[in-house]
Amino acid sequence: MATKKSFLTLKTLRVVLAVCFFTLITFFFIDFADFLPIQFHRLAHLQFIPAIFWGSFVILAFLIVLTLLFGRIYCSVICPMGVFQDIVAWLSKKINKRKKYFFSYPKNILRTCLLGIFIISFFASINLIVSLIEPYSAFGRMAAHIFKPVYQFGNNVLEQIFTSFGNYTFYRTEIFFDLTSFLVAIITFFTIGFFAYKNGRTFCNTVCPTGTVLGFLSKFSLFKVRIDGEKCNHCGSCGTKCKASCINSKEGKIDYGRCVDCFDCIGVCNKNALKFLPLKTTNSQSKKINSDRRKFLTTSLFTAVSMPLLLAQSKGILKPDVRARKIPLSPPGSLSADNLQKHCTACHLCIGKCPSNVLKPAFLEYGLAGMMQPVMSFENGFCNYNCTQCSNVCPNGALRPLTVEQKHTTQMGKVQFNRDICVVVRNGKNCGACSEHCPTQAVKMMPYKDGLTIPQIDTTICIGCGGCEFICPVRPARAIFVEGNRVHQKATVKLEEKAQKVTIDDFGF
């Protein structure tokens, strides 16, 4: 039971848990120095939509049971975008101490249409639309392209100050920007931030597909914030504190589909009319629940009927062949570009955690539907031979976890050599940089002429790490480069020749 006396306990517990989740998952995104252990990627696996993409039925069952027990606790504690909106709403109250919220009727038609578009896009693998409105991925792009550069800039300022005093606690880090993803992130930040500043949880209760689904489930939750009609005097104080605008104080009703269990309302009620209790279902409430269930089933049927038509229309028209490579390089663990597009929501956690900055958001490499999904690019580095960071942190199943041994034989692409523009042929000078940077000996230097050596490639043992391409001095087009595999293959392991054991009976001279 929760009355005003226990309000501090309920709200304090929620705030502490929310701050912990938000701080840890945000810092995991921006942590370029890997202070947090890699195991913290499990925080991302607790997100609702990524759990669906991954097919993690245990996590889905946990979140559904949590919602059926306590309502939309997920939205107020676990979801980083939900907590972000609460932070903005809290700041708005600090700026405007007289700020009040007012009840508004739910925009069910808009919510249903957006959910239908999301579901259709999900099954049609049009993940560009999915990623734009999915809350965790939208927050991930904000963290990766706004918060992380700011954090890196602060680190570099401290590095310059401390280094000037002979203290090398901090080290300088490169700050990389992808213009498209930055613009998407900044638009998301200001759009959601603006509505959170003005009206609280507008995004959650109007646009967010997770909020719509969990909102439907929360109508049947066991524990709810209930209004005691005998004590309530309809003063409206609770409604002015409700960020979800779901309390109709005049009629003494709460829209449980929009309530996110922030418990702000309980603390302002002077009559102790608000309590967090198991719901006692009356006949009228039972009729309303049945009506809601019928509406939900009708919407689902409409979506199921319309989906095949839209799926058929989407085939072949959203994948223009606009690529720098003939076949783009999808990250290790993705299995194939198609598998990546089916599962990836472009949260950019893998991009943020890549230590060599090899992953970047795609523009049109995968086509329009794969926009902002991670693609390998070797302008700033190459894929470290022993690194499995990206495959281990992905919460969607777009990148499957790889061991170091599996990474060593995962062939993402194959090396290609343009002999005519190699500096050895064109300028008559020795180079060999590509061979020196190849971890598998797929590029070896062989005799050419006039004492020169020239690269010779073996595509069977190449893994497509891009070491050769990154280091190649030829510009603008590299003389040696990696062409992607449509489906990742297994590279042949070249066994090193065993050194023969030589027994020396005496000195050799």
Residue 300 has pLDDT above 50, yes or no: no
Helices in 362-458 by DSSP H: which ranges? 389-393, 404-409, 423-426, 433-436
Lowest mean pLDDT among 241-245, 278-282, 341-345, 412-416: 278-282
Residue 302 has pLDDT above 90, yes or no: no
Please report the pLDDT score of residue 269 as a whole number: 84
Instruction: Compute the distance between CA of residue 347 and CA of residue 125 in angstroms, rounded to an integer.
Output: 16
Percent of the chain with pLDDT over 90: 63
Q: pLDDT tens digits for 97-137?
A: 889 999 999 999 999 999 999 999 988 888 889 999 999 99
Calculate ∠ Cα 337-340-341, nearest 5°. 90
For residues 8-27, give the mean pLDDT: 91
Q: How confident is the model at residue 290 (pLDDT cuts 50, 70, 90)?
A: low
Asked if the 337-490 domain carries CATH number 3.30.70.20, the reply is yes
Residue 414 is inside which H or E element, if any? strand 410-417
Instruction: Compute the distance between CA of residue 73 and CA of residue 10 in angstroms, rounded to an integer.
Output: 12
Lowest mean pLDDT among 8-12, 19-23, 220-224, 366-370: 8-12
For residues 265-277, give the mean pLDDT: 84
Residue 66 has pLDDT above 90, yes or no: yes
Q: How confident is the model at residue 176 (pLDDT cuts 50, 70, 90)?
A: confident
First to last CA, the chain: 94
- The DSSP secondary-structure symbol of 40 reads G
Residue of 403, 418, 437, 392 lying closest to 477 (CA atoms): 418
DSSP 3-state of 466? coil
Instruction: Compute the distance between CA of residue 167 and CA of residue 268 in angstroms, rounded to an integer.
Output: 51
Residue 279 has pLDDT above 50, yes or no: yes
Of 11 and 149, the structure prediction assigns the larger pLDDT to: 149
Answer whether 263's CB lies under 8 Å from 7's CB.
yes
- Give the chain's radius of gyration (CA, Å): 28
Instruction: Compute the distance between CA of residue 245 and CA of residue 74 in angstroms, rounded to an integer.
Output: 18
Please report the pLDDT score of residue 268 as a whole number: 84
Answer whether 422's CB lies under 8 Å from 431's CB.
yes
Q: How confident is the model at residue 48 (pLDDT cuts 50, 70, 90)?
A: very high
Mean pLDDT of the chain: 85
Instruction: Compute the distance between CA of residue 457 and CA of residue 415 in angstroms, rounded to an integer.
Output: 7
Query: Cis omega (within 30 of 0) on the bond before 455?
Result: no
Please report the pLDDT score of residue 398 as a whole number: 93
Angstrom CA distances, 509 to 264, 392, 502, 505, 506, stand at 91, 56, 16, 12, 9
Answer whether 403's CB lies under 8 Å from 411's CB.
no
Q: How confident is the model at residue 42 (pLDDT cuts 50, 70, 90)?
A: confident
Answer whether 369's CB lies under 8 Å from 394's CB.
no
Residue 500 has pLDDT above 50, yes or no: no
Calculate ∠ Cα 170-175-180, nearest 5°. 155
Please report the pLDDT score of residue 95 as a whole number: 93
For residues 74-83, give the mean pLDDT: 95
Percent of the chain with pLDDT over 70: 86
- The DSSP secondary-structure symbol of 296 reads H
Instruction: Compute the distance between CA of residue 128 and CA of residue 367 in angstroms, rounded to an integer.
Output: 10
Instruction: Compute the distance between CA of residue 481 and CA of residue 484 in angstroms, rounded to an integer.
Output: 10
Residue 18 has pLDDT above 70, yes or no: yes
Of 316 and 195, the structure prediction assigns the larger pLDDT to: 195
Answer whether 456's CB lies under 8 Å from 444's CB.
yes
Q: How confident is the model at residue 236 (pLDDT cuts 50, 70, 90)?
A: confident
Residue 309 has pLDDT above 80, yes or no: no
Which pair of tokens denotes residue 242?
Answer: 């409700």
CA dihedral of residues 55, 57, 62, 65 (deg, nearest 10): 110
> How are beta strands 443-447 and 480-490 bridged, if at all?
unpaired
Q: pLDDT tens digits for 431-456?
A: 999 999 999 999 999 999 888 999 99
Answer whether 260's CB lies under 8 Å from 244's CB.
yes
Please report the pLDDT score of residue 326 as a whole number: 87
Residue of 482, 47, 78, 122 lying closest to 261 (CA atoms): 78
- The DSSP secondary-structure symbol of 444 reads E
Our measurement of the distance from residue 62's CA atom to the centroid of its chain's CA atoms, rounded to an integer in Å, reads: 20
In which residue are the tokens 């992607």 written? 484
Instruction: Look at the alpha carbons of 261, 265, 269, 273 in this order and tell me if their dihedral is positive or negative.
Output: negative
Instruction: Compute the distance between CA of residue 335 and CA of residue 352 in angstroms, rounded to an integer.
Output: 20
Residue 459 has pLDDT above 80, yes or no: yes
Instruction: Compute the distance between CA of residue 341 and CA of residue 331 in angstroms, rounded to an integer.
Output: 12
Q: pLDDT tens digits for 177-224?
A: 889 999 999 999 999 999 999 999 999 999 999 999 999 999 999 999
- The DSSP secondary-structure symbol of 74 reads I
Which pair of tokens denotes residue 70?
Answer: 């306590």
For residues 293-314, give the mean pLDDT: 44
Lowest mean pLDDT among 78-87, 125-134, 250-259, 268-277: 268-277
Answer whether 359's CB lies under 8 Å from 340's CB.
no
Other Cβ atoms closer than 10 A to 204: 29
Residues 6+ away with beta carbon under 8 Å from 303? 116, 119, 120
Residue of 138, 151, 147, 148 lying closest to 184 (CA atoms): 138
Residues 6+ away with beta carbon under 8 Å from 299? 112, 115, 116
Q: pLDDT tens digits for 143-165?
A: 999 999 999 999 999 999 999 99
Residue 196 is inside which H or E element, if any? helix 179-199
Domain assignments of the chain as residue spans, ordered by start = 7-298, 337-490
